[in-house]
Structure 1
Amino acid sequence: MMVAACSDEEKYSTTNTDVLTFSVDTLKMDTVFSTIPSSTYSFWVYNRCDASLLINRVALEKGTQGFRVNVDGEYLDGELNGVEVRKGDSLCVFVELTAPKCGQTDVQPIGDCLVFNLSHGKQQKVPLRAHQWDADIHDQWDVNGNVTLDSPCPIIIRKGLHIATGAKLTLRSAQLFFHDGAGIDVEGSLQASECLFRGDRLDAMFDDLPYDRVSGQWKGIVLAPNAKGEWTDCVIRNATDALQLGSNAQATLLRTSVHNSSASGIFSEGAHLALTHCRLTNAGGCCLEAKGGSVTADHCTFAQFYPFSADRGEAFRTIKASVACTHSLMTGYDDLVFSAESSDLHFSHCMIRSDQPLMGDTFTDIVWEATDDEKGGKSHFRLVDETIQSYDFSLLPTSPAYQLGIGDIREKTTSSEP
């Protein structure tokens, strides 16, 4: 028995220059909301030596940060012992994180080290690095009275936010993160200023594609018939239907961006919609579609460069709606980014991408953008990069629209705004 034991030990390297090789120097994880489990990350452990290696012990250096580790199919419960890596072989390590509350309103770094102690005495470490963010988490949030929220802490909505008839929710400088399928249903009134509405995935689908650039991450916002909504200096992005307006609903948007919806950007059915210095960009359906009701738009940009479907809708579409549109830009990939069917249309000092210019009293001082060059629509903007789904719809000073004072000519005001 003792001879056999000696023989077993001799098969492992006793040379302390024989060490493990890791596929990463540091495992870098995304930002996570505190108390919410992260996605799973992984790295490889290789033995590229001429002899087998024995890992006497694998453990987290601190062990109190909320990291969970699985080494080659076995979870780390305090520590693992006697892990063999044969010559030329490898192990896969999986890491997850559920960070405890840190008591801070800002994003905070969090980390640990995964320690490997080899049988010949050598110790190796792989740092685990992430950031955590404390949030107020609501499963279902029902607003039945007048509520004002002015909080630097992000708000996570898992199932939905409902504002009852006669109730009013006022949001100031709030960041709302919605789980898949969750959204806002407004029967009363919603007033938001300097707010962000987006999905709750902080990680990435691929290395170069964060979920925050992927459409359809949450349901969107619905104004029921006769409900009211006001958005000032807000960003609404990556929803399914970002904003749906019922009959006689009233929606006012000022300096607000609606970006990257998998269905409609704004869909209005018999509602009254007012847009000033707004950007409605990239939708699987139309960036704006209004059936009946009324639409006023001044100094707005409607840009349709949605990359995920060739069946995307138009940048601007109205049917039987009363429309007054001034100093606004309508452009995109396609020849047809604009249509308006009504006897009550007024377009003035606009730039519209179309190979079929429309004449008459309805259209005055219109610049018709040629459609024979796909790059023509893109050339207005600071960034249109379909390969990584990255966009900045601020107008370039070289853009004819900018020079004529057409469209939303504001500079990009926040890192959250497309």
Structure 2
Amino acid sequence: MRQLLYLLLIGFCITISSCRDDFEFETSNGGLQFSKDTVYLDTVFSNIGSSTYTLKVYNRSNKDISIPSIKLGQGQNSKYRLMVDGIPGKEFNNVELLAKDSMFVFIETTIDYSEYANNSATFLYTDNIQFSSTTGTQQVELVTLVQDAYFLYPQRDDEGQYENVPYNDTLNVYGFNLNRAEHDNELHWNNTKPYVVYGYATVPRGETLTVDPGARVHFHADSGLMVRPGAKLVVNGGQSATDALENEVIFEGDRLEPDFADIPGQWGAILLMSSEDNTINHLTLKNANIGIYARSVDDIAVPKLSITNSQIYYCSNFGLLACGANIKGENLVANNAGQAAVALIKGGTYDFKYSTFANYFNSYDQVPLLINNYQIIGNTRYPGNVNANFDNCIMYGSGNIGISMEQFDFSQIGNYPFHIRYNNSLIKFIDYSNQFRSNKLYPASGNDATLVEYTAGCKLATSSTLNKPAFKDTRTNKLQLITADNGTGPEGTADGSVITLFTTDITGTTRNSSNPDMGAYESVPEED
């Protein structure tokens, strides 16, 4: 035992003596390596801070080194900000880096467009990070695209209180009324430069918000657009010839970095409360909590909307949520929503043609289409009449069920008609456990024509392969149909007799006049 203790003591002493308690640093001779030669800080709006970007600096040598200075090329005048070893600044001296070790340099920027204004709505701002040594200077370039924008936001009063606008009789929200006298007419959104919205931009009663082709609108967190009763929304997007969507109107969040392109829930919603002739054409909407929320706030106005050639993606709750509304849609695509791509609650009147409702959101209980005849507020369930028609549509997603329907029995308090019709539509319906066999809303029971009608032209995808649509790439919302080899999908099986507003699909491709495809896209041959 005594010998064992003696050996442990010797080992402990050797361990202590072998630990370095000081380092001899040599001045760097310029042999640093970097994770990037150029750091591209993605597009930022004027006076809006960027995300934090990372540069990794490596000392591959066997020597502990001291870097005489790390600094921005423009010095203290630079619009970039650095953080080295946890210390913020623009210049750092005698930065130590151990042998075979690395360190992080964090980079941010905020740039005022007006300081560099020219005839362009965008410009490149550049600088570099300089690492000095005994042999010279190594540089890493910094590049940022800065974009000018119209900034729309609530004003403060003399007491420092921000504007707010009524949502209903009891609730106000952070927002403001759009004003013709401000920002070259806030009720006419053009395509000369983007709009960045803070709070809820509100179209007041009696006014119309018109959105031009090619307009870009970016909503900050918890912000959105509200169309009050008696107001009107007219989105005049157009067909684009390139992937840049140059004529499409785009509503999205205000984080422009590619990593945020498919992140849901970055802003609020379009709140549509108006029974006027609201129209949306060629709109791409993404990254909201609820893309479009059509509901009455005065129990008088029935929200009304005609939406065509439009796409709604990456919403944390619903793409389109309608509550007792009146909506017509054609060439409409919705995908990737936390609960339902399209939800029609508390009844309403709906007519959708040639539309693709998909849902590949990473959630076990999401569905492409949800319909019911009620809304729950507090502990009370409020009824509504259901009259919904779907011609040549697709309801398909990563879950087993493409449609979720519920009819609550309100017969004790009144007669509330419930009628849904699916005509020549493709519906995913995999009922392995027979949970819908006794539910007369679903085709498994042979259906009840007084409630839900499935025409003979409907196709049911009752397995993971049967009648599966050949979408191009569901992960990136490319829901174009590629012609299927087995002919069992939705290609060429739509009802050509259905009267349509457009003879072309959402991309402008001419539909087959006698045997068109179901959904918003006419199929194209698969490329080799």
Alignment gaps of 5+ in structure 1: 1-10, 205-209, 413-418
Contact persistence 1:191–1:230 (CA under 8 A): yes
- How far 1:166 moved relative to its partner? 1.4
- How far 1:330 moved relative to its partner? 1.4
Choose from 118, 121, 137 the match for 2:135: 121
- How far 1:33 moved relative to its partner? 1.7
Deviations 1:177-208 (A, max 9, x none): 1111111111011111221111111125xxxx
Aligned residue identity for 1:41: Y
Identify if the C-alpha distance between structure 1 residues 57 and 339 changes in structure 2 by more than 3 Å, giving closer, same or farther. Answer: closer
Matched residue pairs, number? 389
Equivalents in 1 of 2:192, 2:523: separation in Å? 24
2:145 aligns to what?
A: 131
Contact persistence 2:351–2:390 (CA under 8 A): yes
1:406 aligns to what?
A: 518
| Bigger fraction of residues in strand | 1
C-alpha RMSD over aligned residues: 2.7
| Counterpart check, 1:393 vs 2:428 | no
Deviations 1:269-312 (A, max 9, x none): 111011011112222122222222200111111112212x2121
Q: How does 1:141-156 map to 2 (within 5 A)?
A: 141-143=176-178, 147-156=187-196
1:302 aligns to what?
A: 357
| Counterpart check, 1:380 vs 2:470 | yes
Contact persistence 2:43–2:147 (CA under 8 A): yes
1:221 aligns to what?
A: 270
Alignment gaps of 5+ in structure 2: 1-23, 155-175, 238-248, 297-301, 374-384, 408-416, 431-441, 494-516
SS at 1:407 equivalent: coil
Contact persistence 2:313–2:477 (CA under 8 A): no
| Counterpart check, 1:230 vs 2:284 | no
Identify if the C-alpha distance between structure 1 residues 243 and 56 changes in structure 2 by more than 3 Å, giving closer, same or farther. Answer: same
Contact persistence 2:336–2:361 (CA under 8 A): yes
Identify if the C-alpha distance between structure 1 residues 376 and 350 changes in structure 2 by more than 3 Å, giving closer, same or farther. Answer: closer
- How far 1:396 moved relative to its partner? 1.9
Choose from 35, 44, 47 the match for 1:35: 47
Identify if the C-alpha distance between structure 1 residues 221 and 105 changes in structure 2 by more than 3 Å, giving closer, same or farther. Answer: farther
Choose from 186, 201, 209 the match for 2:227: 186
Equivalents in 2 of 1:363, 1:259: separation in Å? 28
Identify if the C-alpha distance between structure 1 residues 144 and 48 changes in structure 2 by more than 3 Å, giving closer, same or farther. Answer: closer
Aligned residue identity for 1:310: Y
Aligned residue identity for 2:419: D
1:288 aligns to what?
A: 342
Contact persistence 1:197–1:235 (CA under 8 A): yes
- How far 1:411 moved relative to its partner? 8.1
- How far 1:161 moved relative to its partner? 0.8
Equivalents in 2 of 1:360, 1:168: separation in Å? 43
2:294 aligns to what?
A: 245
2:460 aligns to what?
A: 369
Q: How does 1:46-57 map to 2 (within 5 A)?
A: 46-57=58-69
Aligned residue identity for 1:160: Y
Contact persistence 1:350–1:365 (CA under 8 A): no
Q: How does 1:95-110 map to 2 (within 5 A)?
A: 95-101=107-113, 102-103=116-117, 107-110=122-125
Q: How does 1:69-84 map to 2 (within 5 A)?
A: 69-77=82-90, 79-84=91-96
Equivalents in 2 of 1:406, 1:316: separation in Å? 19
- How far 1:94 moved relative to its partner? 1.3
TM-score by length of 2: 0.68
Aligned residue identity for 1:257: Q
1:207 aligns to what?
A: none
Aligned residue identity for 2:520: D
Identify if the C-alpha distance between structure 1 residues 368 and 376 changes in structure 2 by more than 3 Å, giving closer, same or farther. Answer: closer
- How far 1:215 moved relative to its partner? 1.1
Identify if the C-alpha distance between structure 1 residues 396 and 270 changes in structure 2 by more than 3 Å, giving closer, same or farther. Answer: same
